[in-house]
Structure 1
Amino acid sequence: MSSVPSQASHADLDARLAQNAAAVETLLESLLSETPAAGEILRPPRLVAAMRHGALAGGKRLRPFLTVETARLLGVPSAQALRAGAAVELLHCYSLVHDDLPAMDDDDLRRGRPTVHKAYDEATAILAGDALLTLAFDVLADPETHESGEIRVALVRCLARASGLGGMVGGQMLDLAAEGRFEAQKHALTEAEIRRLQAMKTGALLAASVEIGARLGGADAAALTALDAYGRALGATFQIADDILDVEADAAQMGKATAKDEDKGKATLIGVLGLDGAKRERDRLSEAAVKALDGFGSAADALRAAARFAAQRKS
């Protein structure tokens, strides 16, 4: 099976991504209003503005797309699926706001605009990230997302474990250590260590985006296993593609600085496999993600196209 999608599938995926991104944007606009929710006292305008700057910057919205499409595959009403997808996106946006801080990646641009700490200040950016993070769990815990408390608990636990100590945050810590932040002597990571780091830092949230949609739809054990294999392969594909883009793309194309990984000595599979080897591994993983969906028929075509998009994207 070719790793390059047909023009028809490109067009269909682009349309569905755009439709989903617009729906997510509308919901995020509502969730990030200055009007306090029940139980809140006040939403400080500067904090809300910084949160909106970090979360309403556009983009493909791939993570909520994965949540919504997986949920759709299992018959979940669109309003519930969108709320779960918005929660995933809120958490993703928090991670970007904090990753861009001077103490982390020290980036000035994100999606072609000043990063939150540049548009506002570092303290506001930290608080905006904190607030986006907690709002994500607020949305998942709300009965509007699902009437079953048991399902809502499963969604919260899934997102927490993917994004926390043993997932994204832990992966970021491993990444900082790999840069030599904490030791005078830098330790070169093995291929297995790099794959583990990337599975935590990037792959875990992408996989969770799929799992949340599956759990929202009450997927059985076999479906959860298949969708987990899909999500993990897609997550690994996405990270390798990102590393390749950091080498090959320019800043205007990406909407952020490029060529940072080599400058900072970041551990990537390109350093182990070479650029051509990394491209082959990216394509292999993309096809593994597609194959994991064999049991779902044509209803999963959008998810298959997303796996190919993750490999072939240009920004």
Structure 2
Amino acid sequence: MESGQRIEAALERAFAAIETPAGPPRLAAAMRHAAFGGGQRIRPRLCLAVAMACGDDRPEVTDAALAAIEVLHCASLVHDDLPCFDDADTRRGKPTVHRAFNEPLAVLTGDALIVLAFQTLSRGAAGAPDRMARLVDIVAAAIGAPTGLCAGQAWESEPDVDLTEYQRAKTGVLFAAATEAGATAAGVGSPTWRTLGARLGEAYQVADDLRDVAADPEKLGKPVGQDEALGRPNAVKELGVPGAIARLKALVTEAVDSIPECPGREPLRTLILEETGRFIPASLAREAA
């Protein structure tokens, strides 16, 4: 099965568990609105690519891991878009959850998606309890304190913010979780896989900072100029456009150089270089050359 189809199928199985007549239909609809109908699925694709490079001997465990990672990401977007944070009107080219439904339901949607991530792991990885235990720990660390997604959001409320620490918690941590979870799902427990994800996550955040100042909002599917408007840390503000591009390239190099020895190391390296080549906005392509 092509990777995109496999990811969507895994997500559909995860959502089937909560889309029953027993629950509030608008909550289920809001959760689906948040997770489907857009998005590049970068994190679950990375999780799957690492698992396949390591052998992917338990596909059902890999599917549970990649679905949990993507559901967590969707939860973070729902909360990030709320009026108390970015107050965004669009996400992935459609109304944000609090605009399409309402603000209280958006808060509950984000919360329920976080829980769904753990439910997905407990069901899908039940046949490999040793791997499931580590996967739960990886996912929990990626969402909570002191360095998970909640911490990343909380840094925006601090008077003094270290850009690197902010980006690691805001974005890098879920990429690191994706690579480590992919390896763990395939029975490879080496923590060195986190380095690959951490560097890619930082690179993606730098690219997102570049998109925030240079991308077309219609093509991007969300507002631009948010960092400047909200006074948030931004690599372009700190390093300038040329400096941010140089930082992105350096992070990608560090990422591919960190890939541990595994059966699929070279195909994984090629795939990552191809994917990261699309990070820089088209309007900045000449400066990046």
Tell me if both proteins adopt one fold, taking TM over 0.5 as the criterion: yes
1:149 deviation in Å?
1.8
Q: Displacement, 1:268?
A: 1.5
2:178 aligned to 209, 216, 219, which one? 209
Tell me what 2:10 maps to. 27
Which of the numbers 102, 118, 126 marks the counterpart of 2:99?
118
1:274 corresponds to which of 237, 240, 262: 240
Show the counterpart of 1:47.
27
C-alpha deviation, 1:307, in angstroms = 5.0
Contact residue 237 and residue 282 of structure 1 kept, 8 A: yes
Gap regions ≥5 residues in structure 2: 282-289
Aligned partners of 1:128, 1:31: CA distance in 2, in Å?
15
Distance across 2 between alignment mates of 1:80 and 1:110: 30
Offset of 1:104 from its aligned partner?
Answer: 1.1
CA distance in 2, matches of 1:256, 1:66: 23
Question: What is the deviation of 1:234?
Answer: 0.7
| Cα offsets for 1:150-192 (capped at 9, x unmatched) | 22111011111111112111111002335xxxxxxxx4x4xxx
Between the aligned partners of 2:277 and 2:210, the Cα distance in structure 1 is: 10
Structure 2: how far apart are the matches of 1:297 and 1:147? 24
1:170 matched to which residue of 2? Answer: 151
Alignment partner, residue 181 of structure 1: none
2:52 matches 1:83: no
**What secondary structure does 2:222 align onto?**
coil
What is the Cα deviation at residue 308 of structure 1? 4.9
**Contact 1:34-1:45 within 8 A present in 2 as well:** no
Letter in 2 for 1:309: E
Report the equivalent of 2:213.
247
Q: 1:64 aligns with which of 44, 50, 68?
A: 44
Aligned equivalents of 1:271 and 1:209: distance in 2?
A: 28
**How far did residue 284 of structure 1 move?**
0.6
Residue matched to 1:139: 120
Q: Which amino acid aligns with 1:203?
A: G
Q: CA deviation at 1:298?
A: 5.1
Counterparts of 1:133 and 1:194 in 2: how far apart (Å)?
Answer: 26
After TM superposition, give the deviation of residue 140 of structure 1 in Å.
Answer: 0.9
Amino acid of the residue matched to residue 23 of structure 1?
A: R
Cα displacement (A) at 1:255: 0.3
Q: Does 1:159 align with 2:139?
A: yes
RMSD: 2.2
Shift of 1:296: 3.6
- Does the 8 A contact of 2:259 with 2:265 survive in 1? no
Q: Which amino acid aligns with 1:60?
A: Q
Distance 1:211 1:132 in 2: 21
Give the Cα separation in 2 of the matches to 1:265 and 1:311.
28
Aligned length: 279
Instruction: State how far apart, in whole Å, the 2-side matches of 1:307 and 1:94 are.
Output: 28
Deviation at 1:33, TM superposition (A): 3.3
- Residue identity opposite 2:93 in structure 1: G
* Cα offset, 1:36, TM superposition: 6.2
Stretch deviating more after TM superposition (278-287 or 297-306): 297-306
- Measured after TM superposition, the shift of residue 74 of structure 1 is 1.7
Deviation (angstroms), 1:48:
0.6
Distance 1:141 1:66 in 2: 21
Residue of structure 1 equivalent to 2:261: 295
CA–CA separation in structure 1 for the residues paired with 2:42 and 2:219: 18
Asked if residue 228 in structure 1 is aligned to residue 194 in structure 2, the reply is yes
Contact 1:33 1:48 survives alignment (8 Å): no
Letter in 2 for 1:275: V
For residues 131 and 84 of structure 1, the distance between their equivalents in structure 2, rounded to whole angstroms, comes to 17
CA, structure 1 residues 300+169, in 2 after alignment: closer, same or farther (shift >3 Å)?
farther
Give the counterpart letter for 1:265 in structure 2.
G
How far 1:42 sits from its partner (Å)? 2.0
Equivalent in the alignment of 2:284: none
AA matched with 2:185: L
What's the CA shift string for 1:14-34, capped at 9, x where partnerless? xx9xx3233222332332237
